[in-house]
Amino acid sequence: MTDGLRSKTLWGRHLISLFGLGRERIVPVMSLAAAAVVTATVAAAQNLDAGKPPAKLFADGCATCHRSPRGLAKGRFSLTLSWFLKDHYATSSDSAKVLAAYLESVDEPSPRAAAKPAKKPARSTPRQPKPVQSQ
């Protein structure tokens, strides 16, 4: 044996096997590999937008192009809006849903404006129809 490696003879040749190291060396190597895989999985699963208020999410991701959140959700369904935000702007489906709800709430009229009855346009008095002339 040379330097702790096992040697084998195959067809008259002297071979050194790295897999013949035994459990005392393979088990620690496999343990380190498993720990590296678990660490990489946990590190990739972090959501940096978790816990941020929706106004902050808008300021961080949308305010560079949109000056105001008003009108961005107008005429869109909540579900399709959150899907669009998740695919293009949000880091997770949860932050997309929160941002979609925020954009919809900004577009709703304020309670004060909803409490005021809308003024009806002034109608003029209807005219009498002209009599039909017979010939």
**For the whole model, what pTM was predicted?**
0.47
Give me the pLDDT at residue 32, please: 81
Could you tell me which residues are beta bridge partners of residue 2? 5
Residue 96 lies in a domain: yes
Q: Return the beta strands (E) in the chain as ranges.
A: 6-10, 13-17
AA letter at 104: E
pLDDT at 14: 55
**Domain membership flag for residue 80:** yes
pLDDT at residue 88, rounded to an integer? 85
> Which structural domain, as residue segments, surrounds residue 87?
54-108
Domain count, the chain: 1
pLDDT on residue 135: 67
For residue 4, the 8-state DSSP code is T
Q: Please list the rounded mean pLDDT of every run of 10 residues in the chain (135 residues).
A: 53 55 67 78 65 85 86 87 88 88 81 63 74 79
Q: Has residue 2 been placed in a domain?
A: no
Is 32 a domain residue?
no
Helix axes 54-61, 93-107, angle to 10 degrees: 100
